[in-house]
Structure 1
Amino acid sequence: MKAGIAAALALVAALGDNEAMAGSGDGNQLITACQTVVKYMDGTKNVDSYDFGYCIGIVEATEGSMIILNDSLPAKLKTCFPEDGITNGQKARIVVKSLQENPAILNQPATYLTMLAFKTAYPCK
């Protein structure tokens, strides 16, 4: 229980302090990488494997962390992911859409931007 609370506090702090996630690249790198995943999902099979892996790694790790910590977070920070899950293609599309709609924040850390994209796509009611 204490570990969950500590992890939740760390997430809350990270949401408020983007510097905590600076090591994961920024939105410029993330949008390029996730566009690669979208192209692959749409049928283009000759894509950059580094970009593909980078996007999937960021979206998978971020979603997993958010799900694990969700129960320990205050209501305003919770994200209500679908119970039947999200495909990697859906995750990439959510991130690309969010970043295209918010180009002014592409300088922010990739993990932070992924959290914002998921929180916007799956708000709790």
Structure 2
Amino acid sequence: MKVLMAALALTSMMGACAAWADGNDLMQTCQSLLQFDDNGKANNPMKIGQCVGYMNGAIGIASELNKYLPKEDQICLPNGTSTPIQLARVVVNFMKRSPQIMSYDDGAITLAAFQAAYPCK
């Protein structure tokens, strides 16, 4: 039951920025943040804020889900790598390496990117 509640929380939290968003939406949103970080241009401040909020929410939910997942499926961030910009870079790079996943749910993509980049050892 706790796993079901955590999954429902993840779905509701991850969908707070955009209903039924996919990788294309996530890429566009988080590229705005990365462009701002790289060159200081805030072409779309709302998307920048959405990505920051999304990354913070995603890692918070992932941390909570870790309580219910086997060690091999958990996400373990090393110290000093939990800024929204760093997390957005992980997710954007993951999507660029895996263009076939762009139609998948943005929450699933985000968690898969975090799992690939930060597995627990």
**Fold equivalence (TM over 0.5):** yes
Q: Distance in 2 between matches of 1:57 and 1:119?
A: 19
Gaps of 5+ in 2: none
Checking the alignment, whether the CA contact within 8 Å between 2:66 and 2:75 is kept in structure 1 is: yes
Q: Distance in 1 between matches of 2:34 and 2:108?
A: 20
1:99 is aligned to: 95
Distance 1:86 1:58, change over 3 A: same
How many percent of aligned residue pairs carry the same amino acid? 33
The answer to whether structure 1 residue 49 and structure 2 residue 45 are counterparts is yes
1:74 is aligned to: 70
Q: Show CA shifts across 1:98-119 (max 9, x none).
A: 0111111101111111101111
Q: Distance in 1 between matches of 2:100 and 2:111?
A: 16
Q: Distance in 2 between matches of 1:65 and 1:77?
A: 14
Q: Distance in 1 between matches of 2:64 and 2:89?
A: 22
| 4+ long deviations beyond 2 Å | 8-15, 21-24, 43-47
Q: Distance in 2 between matches of 1:94 and 1:107?
A: 18
CA RMSD of aligned residues (A): 2.6
Q: Distance in 1 between matches of 2:103 and 2:81?
A: 29
The answer to whether structure 1 residue 40 and structure 2 residue 36 are counterparts is yes
**Deviation for aligned residue 1:69:** 2.2
